[in-house]
């Protein structure tokens, strides 16, 4: 789905949710609610089943199941509303809703494990730290009051399961939010959806203290917009970033340290609220907060130093040390991405003679100058790669064949310009093989063979595969 269609989809969902909130608890509103929810379930199932079978599809199937179970729970409640004199406090709908929470949490955890395989330890520890703090607050303010108000065993067991489900869901979404990996629109859509779900559940518990429940109940259709956000993430062209290992080095954001500090202070703060705000207790709390801030500052400093070293190693593993260009590993990753590409395979003419006669310093000067000229000749979306020696590759997504030829002509002219070195001018040429979109599926091999044909024909020219 294109960016424009995605925005249109979410815009339509927002309008529908606004209409449902306006007509809430009416026969018209309930009918529209069922129709919109069914449509969303149909879209998410269609999109999930279109994913190729395998590990990347499984989390999306669980997401579709979760949405379907939530719809089933709402449908059961509507059935009670219209067909029975009284809606039971605890019933089959609770089974559907709570199972949906569990499935969504499992799906998010699966995504986090796939996008950051082998690199989850830090994210898991930080997520569990925040989750424990949230669980403690949930126990004191949500679960204990529910237990005190319950009359039957079912009422003692089931209502507290919802705050527990929220805590589990929070933990799962934190695994994604805090794990390494790409962060573009699909990730932000997914995080926004789960954040909205958690905010809705919290609002149901907090807003009745300030507003009449008939007003608070109107936020229920917002769940549909959360489902629409998840569906938009599934429909997004870059959705693979949620289920595919990424190479991004995750940095410790300052807000992460702040949230960890707040988590450390949750237990003493809640204890103080429980026992009373006595002066000595306040002084002890302030001292604890100050000590925790010092410890976290030291921790952040150590982590920053480690991150810089990791970032440098990650850059070196995927870039040429002399020219700074991407290396073969990056090229292989980009070639694995879907979409038409034009590929130009370059081999310098006369480089060996310069390297042998003038030494490696002269050869390095030539390679550095050529790398700079190639980088200046391409678009911002193109990739310039040094494969090794005097071989380079230009990978150009969505570049038509005629534009690839024009690029090759510019490259021939630019590379042929003399290169200054220690008071003299060095001259090299280049032979170019072009693999245009729509040709051989192995564009790298096709362009390589075309380059050798250009060499055979006399160098300083291009050949189209």
Residues 392-406: tens digit of each pLDDT? 999 999 899 899 999
Is the residue at 190 inside a domain?
A: yes
Task: Using pLDDT thresholds of 50, 70 and 90, give the confidence band for residue 351.
Answer: very high
| pLDDT tens column, 177-189 | 888 777 889 999 9
What angle do helix axes 92-115 and 58-83 make, rounded to 10 degrees?
160
Mean pLDDT for 364-381 is 94
Mean of per-residue pLDDT scores for the chain? 87
- Sequence-distant (≥ 6) Cβ neighbours of residue 298 within 8 angstroms: none
Domain around 351: 328-464
- Does residue 60 share a domain with residue 9? yes
Mean pLDDT for 373-379 is 94
Of 318, 338, 371, which closes a domain?
318
Q: Of 73-87, 133-147, 247-261, 401-415, where does mean pLDDT reach its minimum?
A: 247-261
Query: What's the rounded Cα separation, in Å, for the pair 127 and 259?
Result: 10
The structure tokens listed for 22 are 């306006």
Compute the chain's Rg from CA coordinates.
30
| pLDDT tens column, 19-68 | 999 999 899 999 999 999 999 999 999 999 999 898 889 999 999 999 99
In total, how many domains does the chain have?
Answer: 3
pLDDT at 286 over 90: no
Mean pLDDT for 259-274 is 70
Q: Assess contact for 404 and 434: CB atoms under 8 A.
A: yes
Mean pLDDT for 246-272 is 65
pLDDT of residue 258: 67
- Does residue 419 share a domain with residue 304? no
User: In a 3-state reduction of DSSP, which class is residue 426?
Assistant: strand
- Does residue 335 share a domain with residue 310? no
Share of the chain above pLDDT 70, in %: 90
| pLDDT tens column, 73-108 | 999 999 998 888 888 888 899 999 999 999 999 999
Pairing, β 391-397 against β 383-388? antiparallel
Q: Mark residue 460 as left, alpha or beta (left: phi above 0; alpha: psi -120 to 50; beta: remaining).
A: left
Q: Of 25-29, 93-97, 218-222, 280-284, where does mean pLDDT reach its minimum?
A: 280-284
Query: What's the rounded Cα separation, in Å, for the pair 78 and 361?
Result: 79
- Does residue 61 share a domain with residue 138? yes
Query: What's the rounded Cα separation, in Å, for the pair 293 and 301?
Result: 12
- Does residue 102 share a domain with residue 57? yes
pLDDT at 453 over 50: yes
Q: For the stretch 283-292, what's the b/e string if a residue is b when 16 or more beta carbons lie within 10 angstroms of its beta carbon? A: eebeeeeeeb
Pairing, β 462-464 against β 429-435? parallel
Is the residue at 433 inside a domain?
A: yes
pLDDT of residue 249: 47
Query: What's the rounded Cα separation, in Å, for the pair 66 and 64?
Result: 5
Query: What's the rounded Cα separation, in Å, for the pair 296 and 264?
Result: 10
């Amino acid at each position: 789905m294109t960016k424009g269609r995605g925005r249109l989809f979410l815009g339509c969902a927002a309008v529908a949710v606004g209409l449902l909130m306006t007509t809430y608890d009416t026969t018209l509103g309930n009918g529209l609610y069922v129709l919109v929810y069914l449509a969303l379930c149909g879209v998410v199932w269609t999109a999930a089943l279109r994913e190729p079978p395998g590990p990347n599809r499984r989390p999306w199937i669980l997401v579709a199941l979760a949405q379907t179970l939530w719809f089933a729970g709402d449908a059961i409640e509507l059935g009670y509303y219209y067909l029975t004199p009284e809606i039971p406090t605890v019933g089959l709908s609770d089974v559907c809703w709570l199972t949906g929470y569990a499935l969504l949490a499992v799906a998010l955890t699966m995504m986090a494990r796939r996008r950051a395989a082998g690199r989850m330890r830090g994210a898991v520890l930080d997520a569990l730290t925040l989750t424990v703090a949230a669980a403690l607050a949930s126990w004191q303010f949500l679960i204990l009051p529910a237990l005190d108000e319950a009359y039957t065993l079912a009422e003692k067991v089931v209502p507290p399961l919802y705050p527990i489900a929220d805590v589990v869901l929070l933990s799962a979404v934190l695994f994604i939010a805090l794990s390494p990996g790409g962060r573009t629109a699909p990730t932000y859509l997914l995080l926004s959806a789960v954040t909205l779900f958690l905010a809705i559940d919290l609002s149901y518990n907090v807003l009745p203290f300030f507003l009449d429940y008939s007003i608070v109940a109107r936020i229920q259709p917002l769940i549909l917009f959360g489902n629409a956000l998840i569906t938009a993430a599934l429909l997004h062209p870059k959705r693979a970033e949620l289920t595919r290992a990424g190479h991004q080095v995750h940095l410790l954001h300052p807000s992460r340290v702040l949230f960890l500090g707040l988590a450390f202070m949750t237990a003493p703060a809640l204890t103080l609220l429980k026992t009373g705000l006595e002066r000595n207790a306040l002084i002890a709390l302030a001292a604890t907060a100050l000590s925790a801030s010092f410890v976290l500052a030291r921790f952040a400093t150590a982590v920053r130093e480690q991150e810089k070293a990791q970032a440098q190693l990650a850059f070196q593993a995927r870039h040429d040390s002399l020219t700074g260009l991407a290396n073969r590993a990056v090229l292989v990753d980009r070639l694995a991405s879907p979409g038409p590409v034009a590929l130009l395979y370059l081999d310098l003419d006369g480089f060996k003679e310069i390297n042998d006669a003038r030494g490696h310093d002269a050869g390095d000067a030539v390679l550095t100058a050529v790398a700079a000229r190639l980088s200046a000749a391409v678009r911002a979306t193109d990739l310039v790669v040094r494969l090794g020696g005097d071989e380079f590759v230009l990978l150009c997504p969505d570049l038509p064949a005629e534009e690839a030829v024009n690029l090759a002509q510019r490259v021939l002219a630019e590379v042929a310009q003399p290169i200054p070195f220690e008071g003299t001018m060095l001259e090299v040429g280049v032979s170019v093989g072009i693999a245009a979109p729509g040709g051989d599926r192995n564009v790298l091999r096709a362009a390589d063979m075309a380059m050798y044909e250009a060499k055979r024909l006399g160098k300083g020219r291009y050949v189209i595969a």
